[in-house]
Structure 1
């Protein structure tokens, strides 16, 4: 299977440079497919052209017996299907054995989000006494103010910022660009950080830098958010993606149009946006009481027949 590893590198390059997938996404594909190739090696498979549907089903069964969650198995199956589809198109194999391979069905858990009060507590935790605190406050404010993915935030360069109009040029999935506005609080936090950015000894033009002057890592942001949440008395698993859900939910809760939220999040399909947005019970009752003719007691002089029937 040594040749297969070299072919895999060609597939990963295709994802990175032609499909414009992020480095983190490609890293996920690499780990999934290397694990799969190791399984094939143990099964005595000599080359990719020998792989059958039976091998694929055996691998899925192997993963399930290992105790992997259905969501993890489904992700690995998706990686395998993409890989074999590419192999067939590039002429490495004559038939695609994964064409009929299905992912295990599982229910997506409803994503969580922060309440407005919890969000305020989180935003107030990073201090402003030192450069790291100032930088981290700007990061948290921007994640909440824009709904950006953490990878999109960390790929921002100075030239992507338009402070005068409070707009950011964001490069999303597949290399698609979109303009995202940000609010007053985020503007003030970002401006304060940019004023002290030289303290990090910049070696690159990325907006957010580590102590070595290079681009900050996603792991650092995730770890910092978790620590700030605990300091703020928030005991939910706070992640950058949770802030993305929170951004969308708060906008919808205050009457924003779903298609506008779709544009801000950079989703190509509205159905994806719907998974990110949740109307809180309080807002749901307000909308219901206001809109449904039989939801409230009729006021004096109110002769709505649907209220009286």
Structure 2
């Protein structure tokens, strides 16, 4: 067995923060964790906020930053009255940076203080209910090519739970209309093939045939590969997808609607349709099944229904076992005992079937 070799850090503890962040981005976020370009850009932007604060107080390397310095930055964030989601994003990026710094001995991970991160509001976590989903759908028009594009994007996010970044990366060739499926390119370059329902497919095909050819300007060539185009003929951006969903959510009376909420809606709907978690995980493109579990928000009625179904299955199984025991009984008393037990179990199963509850 070969000797263990500790990987050397590509930078030194005393190096400027710019050099360290560049190495963190290249070797840790991309090389080690294979995060998407959009995620890497978001993490880097959030960390640069911290870097700017350190520079303003005369600190040029992360190894010089103390717990008090980090706490001062967190306090400054609080004074800026950032939205809870923006605050959480910055803290999440900082924690990941310090995991990298600690792993390579560039700074003490223990210098990161405890930070009380506000929990997500219930409206951010809960999926849309059926009435909200229908209300959002009703806000989409097809009077212009860009409106029809937005409608097709929403159809795919609502029906397949796609990320905004996955919508952006879709190419024309990814749609296989004859087979009713779509190639989706997820995080880390992982591709998955998803089935498309007929209604969603018709929305996307209509956009491709009737609206997409008109999304270009006179002095610019159209992107031949991108499925979703902006009005200049180039590939749509992630920010544009978010803005479109948010705008239609606001028009439908659903505040702060975002693409990730549509993913939660999709996951919860599939769960209510009795799709198993492993299949939902594959459709969402999650690497970890636990992540998929966090997306599931069963309604109270669903919980009662599944509870009743489990009890019903238990009593039916008990009745079958008791009836088999009656057949194998050696005496008449034993046979009567097991038949009576089976009768009671059948009655309990019918009770659960009827939905009665004390």
1:120 maps to 134
Consecutive unaligned residues of structure 1, counting only runs of 5 or more, are: 294-301
**8 Å contact 2:17–2:60 — kept in the other structure?**
no
Q: How many residue pairs align between the two structures?
A: 298
1:199 maps to 214
2:295 maps to 276
2:242 maps to 222
Cα–Cα, structure 1 residues 216 and 96, in superposed 2: closer, same or farther, change >3 Å?
Answer: same
Q: Distance in 2 between matches of 1:36 and 1:171?
A: 32
**8 Å contact 2:169–2:226 — kept in the other structure?**
yes
1:213 maps to 233
Q: Distance in 1 between matches of 2:87 and 2:253?
A: 31
**1:59 equivalent in alignment to 2:57:** no
User: Residue 143 of structure 2: SS of its match in structure 1?
Assistant: coil
User: Residue 164 of structure 1: SS of its match in structure 2?
Assistant: helix
Give the structure with higher Rg (CA).
2
Aligned-residue Cα RMSD (Å) equals: 3.2
User: Residue 59 of structure 2: SS of its match in structure 1?
Assistant: coil
**1:96 equivalent in alignment to 2:137:** no
**1:263 equivalent in alignment to 2:282:** yes
1:296 maps to none
CA-to-aligned-CA distance 1:239-298 (integer Å, 9 cap, x gap): 2112111111111112111121111111122221122111122333333344435xxxxx
2:21 maps to 8
Q: Distance in 2 between matches of 1:131 and 1:65?
A: 43
Q: Distance in 2 between matches of 1:95 and 1:13?
A: 16
User: Residue 168 of structure 1: SS of its match in structure 2?
Assistant: strand
Length-normalised TM-score, structure 2:
0.72
**8 Å contact 1:74–1:103 — kept in the other structure?**
no
**1:136 equivalent in alignment to 2:150:** yes
1:50 maps to 64
Consecutive unaligned residues of structure 2, counting only runs of 5 or more, are: 1-13, 217-221, 313-342, 353-357
**More displaced, 101-110 or 129-138?**
101-110
Length-normalised TM-score, structure 1:
0.82
Shift of 1:113: 1.7
The answer to which structure has the higher helix fraction is 2
**1:176 equivalent in alignment to 2:190:** yes
